[in-house]
Amino acid sequence: MKTAVHTRLAIDGIKKNSRLYVPYILGGAVMSGISYIMHYLSSDRILDSVKKGVATLGAFLPLAAWIIAIFSVIFLFYANSFIIKRRSRELGLYNVLGMDKKNIAKVMAIESVAVAVMSIGAGLIFGVAFSKLAEAALFKALGEKVGFAVYIHLPAVAKTAAVFGGVYLLLLINSLVRVAFSKPASLIMNDKAGEKEPKGNAVLAVIGLALLIGAYIISLSIKSPLNAMMLFFVAVIMVIVATYLLFIAGSVTLCRLLKKNKNYYYNPKHFVSVSSMSYRMKRNGAGLASICILSTMVLVTVTATGSLFTGLEETVNEAFPYQMCADAQFESYSDLTDEFRKDFLEQADFLECKDSVYYDCVAASGYIANGEFNDDPSSLLIFDSSIADNIIELEMFSLSDYNRITGKNETLAEGECLVWSDKEAEKFDTFTVRGEKPLNVKKHLDSFFATTGNVLSSGVPRVYIVVSDLEKYAYDLVQIDNGLYDFFLFFRSGYDTVFADKDSFDAGHELGNRIFRNIEMNNMENGVLSTDVAFRQEFRDECTELYTGIFFMGITLSVVFLIAAVLIIYYKQITEGYEDASRFSIMRKVGMTRKEIRKSINSQVLTVFFAPLAVAGMHMAFAMPLVSKLLKLMYLENTKLLVLTAVVIFALFAVFYAIVYKITSHSYYSIVNPKPKM
């Protein structure tokens, strides 16, 4: 046969099955478009023009591009296998009519090339068109100015075309292998047996339920972000498995119950839908579970990265209550003299600050149990969740500093202390360090002054202890040097409104650095281990960079998950449409009106289709405690913001889901109930 014939057969095949091919091509186009954008944004052209975030963006964006490629392979394979299954009848017919497999392979190859060219071509056009928008968004997020020139980045084009060309080549090879091993008879055959109710359905349901409850308990009970990190993926896998089991077992049970209820079942509205549901109950359950899991992924990813991004300013202010913080660390309390304090503060006066704070502080990390603080680092190496849950950052202050800064007039007797702690940390009545004489807790404080060293604590609960005389109490703790050198003595200070604008920031930044560098140089012999100056603006930049990178990646992944979910919803609808079409045509012959068919379809789709959304919402709600712990690792402390973001995202997603449902159920409807041709 001539190539022209093959080409015509291939093009006709695509045209005739546009219902199958259009979403497939669109899905591929969007994936390759996003991939182009990621390559474009991580190209030197962009990274050279941004001052900040080069490292993070350079790492995150190509990673995102690769993740997209991997997901594209999975989902395009899914869609492609679906298309092959649908088209096997037609190909089988060609085969029976005397077209040998070599020729069929040729037709398929031409078809694949056409699909690949259309997908990648449309993807690149889409990518170039939207790359400017993405660039603008990125620059805006990083606080930089955007140019207007639209630019086609050839290396990004080449990379995208190469990667997706490879993906489509894999798809073609897969299709060819399938055709090569198929028999013409089996290509035309079509299995009509319904699914049997699986044995041990109750067992599946119980296992699923147990896994789900287990995962939810993990999420609800975890206290420390470190544990959250370790158990997050365990919980995710548990939820995925549980979702599949429960949806399958649930759909089987639901079908059985509905069928048992004769008055419900033998009702024109439910009769047809319940029976079709039970005909494919397992497949239906699995499909719904996939939709549910992808929806959950979208919801959690967008919520987490979105709230990080929107909570940026608050996070920065929380971590840096002052525009500039300066610390000096000492070997021993005997080195922290009044002379040094005076000198330090005098130097800082050069900065013309309006508001400042300074205090002594002894800090340590360790875990606390019944008010007993243990800083033995070897015990922390054991991954015992009861220890990990109780890891805290301990900071100790002197009563005189506390009263001076807060303006209060607390008093403490010998052997007494004041305690302030994060709500996650345990409450205790006596406080002990390394077997010393316990301190009685005189009062649990509701609030504390803004301390300056919070950056380090990243999600670990903090416990502040105020003692009557810090020097006396902690002298030995700081001193001890037997390998357990864990109590650090700091002189800390914070300064505010030093820099009115960006120019003065740059000047102040330099001045601050110089001043404190001097202090460090001058006092090296006097027991100062190091000085450290940190600026809020620098931290903000750092966070912006990190969060922007994470946000872009999160959004990208969400889009990919979303496309996957939409594709699955769509293909699920049309597979069922093709299956049901012959049934509905029989029913029309037997005397079912168009209106009744429409009603029956609505009943079917509504009963099952919004279940994944509801369950995804539930998963999301239960994931929030865990997510909030993870976000603490990235400094986000504001749980309210997280919840608010979650609610908004869920509402938006629900609207989107409803629209997708509407559109796809329309295509289902037009397959099963075509308009009469008269």
Binding residues for another protein, rule: CB under 8 A, are 192-194, 262-263, 266-268, 271-272, 275-276, 278-279, 583, 586-596, 678
Shortest separation between residue 578's beta carbon and another protein, angstroms: 14
**Minimal distance in Å, beta carbon 273 to another protein?**
10
* 173 membership: H or E segment, kind and range: helix 154-180
Closest CA relative to residue 333, chosen from 528, 531, 532, 464: 528
Using the structure block, give the residue that is written with the tokens 């559109």: 663
Q: Which is nearer to another protein, 236 or 597 (CB)?
A: 597
Nearer to another protein, 143 or 194 (CB): 194
- Token pair, residue 611, equals 């279940």
Taking the least distance from each CB to another protein, the nearer of 194 and 377 is 194
Tracing tokens 């504001």 back to the chain, one arrives at: 638
Least Cβ distance, residue 605 to another protein (angstroms): 16
Q: What's the closest the beta carbon of residue 87 comes to another protein, in angstroms?
A: 22
Residue in this structure with the two tokens 């397992």, named with its chain if needed: 282
State the nearest-atom distance from the C-beta of 607 to another protein, in Å. 15
**Cα three-residue angle 444-450-451, rounded to 5 degrees:** 95
3-class DSSP state of 31: helix
- Residue 207's contacts (CB-CB under 8 Å, 6 or more residues apart) are 245
Is residue 526 within 8 Å of residue 333, measured between CB atoms? no
Task: Measure the CA–CA gap between 593 and 585, rounded to whole angstroms.
Answer: 11
DSSP string, 37-90: HHHHHTSHHHHHH-SS-HHHHHHHHHHHHHHHHHHHHHHHHHHHHHHHHHHHHH
Alpha helices per DSSP H over 486-633: 502-522, 536-590, 594-609, 611-633
Comparing CB distances to another protein, the nearer of 404 and 583 is 583
Q: Which is nearer to another protein, 45 or 583 (CB)?
A: 583
- Comparison of 381 and 678: residue with beta carbon closer to another protein: 678
Q: How far is CA 26 from CA 33, 379, 549, 560, 566, in A?
A: 10, 55, 27, 12, 11
Least spacing, CB of residue 610 vs another protein, in Å:
22
Q: Which residues of 258-287 are buried (b: 16+ CB within 10 A; e: fewer)?
A: bbeeeeeeeeeebbbbbbbbbbbbbebbbb
Between 268 and 377, name the residue whose CB sits nearer to another protein. Answer: 268
Minimum distance from residue 599 beta carbon to another protein (Å)? 11
Are the beta carbons of 394 and 364 closer than 8 angstroms? yes
- Smallest separation, CB 111 to another protein (Å): 27
Rounded least distance, CB 110 to another protein, Å: 28
Q: Looking at beta carbons only, is 80 or 276 nearer to another protein?
A: 276
Q: Tell me whether residue 155 or residue 194 sits nearer to another protein (CB atom).
A: 194
- C-alpha Rg value of the chain to the nearest Å: 32
